[in-house]
Structures are given as structure tokens and as C-alpha cells.
Amino acid sequence: MLRRLYDWVMGLAASRHAPSALFAVSFAESSFFPVPPDVMLAPMVLARPEKAWRYATICTLASVLGGALGYAIGYFLQDFALWLMSLSGHAKGLDEFQCWYSEWGVWVILIKGLTPIPYKLVTIASGLAEFAFPVFIAASVVTRGARFFLVAAVVKKFGPAMLPIVERRLALFAGLAVALVVVGLVASHYLGSGSTSVC
């Protein structure tokens, strides 16, 4: 099924309705759709490199708006939100996400919004955890914009063959950032910060 969805999205990228389809896929991917908009963004930039920044802007705007929907689902429709998370393999992951938010705050959004990790998990979990909505939106704009503009820039300059390398590097840097945050938290606990983790 996922393969059929992927092929369908790739077909949309070649259609005359590509910009509208890009907006729709970017919006839906932030809350429930399984195929990331990168698979549309890359061939569209390759076909029309002069519109690379326009396409990246469409992705960013739609993704953040879709993220707001995902947040609302988590905040207002908790049972449905938990069901959506279970479809992504996180049926019992709410406590873990809430722990991450209580310990790392906005870093959860900054790190996961930039990497290939499904952004929908972040948006729904942010609503479930009742994370500050303005901070959530600001962090989403930064991370999603950084990701899509980087993808557009790489494809515009080097072609789609560079995308796997970019994604590997993003995952590496995000992993290092997580490690640094964890080290900082552990150090603060053991150097007499006086706080006690609930995780």
C-alpha cells in the first residue's frame, strides 16, 4: 500500500496541479499522511529549478499549517490522537513523549522537525502534552523551513542523487544534538542542580 501511495505522489509531482498537490501532501503529512513531501519537492525542483524557493515555501507553509492541525488533534481529540500514534508504532509512547517534553522542551520539536523522523508524531504528541502552542509554531517554522529549503537547495545545485547523503547527515547531526542534550541533563542532575527527573 505504501508503495502505491509513493507512486501516486510521484505522479502528482509531474502533473499540472503539482504546486497544489505539493501543498496538500505537505499539509497532510504533518498529521496523518505517511509519504513525506520531499518525494514531490525534489522532482519539482529538478524540473523547474527557478521555482525552487517557491516550492520550498509552499512545503514550509503547508507543513506548519498541517502541524497546527496535528497539534489540535492531540489537544482536543486525545483518543483519536492516541489511535493515530498507535498506527505509527507508538501505542504506548505518550508517556515517553511527555517525558521528553518535560526534560528537553522545544528541543524535541527542533530535532525531530528537521530529521526524517515522522513529523506527525511530534505535532500530535505536542498537543497531547499541551506544549506551548506559540513555541510549537515558531519551532516548526524554523525546522520545517530549514529542511525543505535545504532539500530544494541541494536538488537545485546537485540534483536528486545528493538527497540520501543530506538525509543521512541530518540524522547524524540530530543524533549528536540529542546526545549533547542528554549529556547536559545528566550533568545537571549529578552536579547538584537539585531537580529530580520524573522520567
Confidence at residue 94, expressed as pLDDT on a 0 to 100 scale: 64
197 falls within a domain: no
53 falls within a domain: yes
Digit-coded pLDDT (tens) for 32-84: 777 788 888 888 888 788 899 999 999 999 999 999 999 999 999 988 888 87
Q: Are 173 and 140 contacting, i.e. CB atoms less than 8 angstroms apart? A: no
Number of domains in the chain: 1
First to last CA, the chain: 37
Among 126, 93, 100, residue whose Cα is nearest residue 181:
100
Name the H helices within the chain: 2-13, 18-29, 38-47, 52-76, 78-87, 94-104, 107-114, 119-128, 133-158, 163-190
198 falls within a domain: no
State which residues form the domain around 97. 2-190
Digit-coded pLDDT (tens) for 82-135: 887 777 666 665 666 666 666 666 666 666 655 555 778 888 888 988 888 998
Among 32, 42, 23, residue whose Cα is nearest residue 156:
42
196 falls within a domain: no
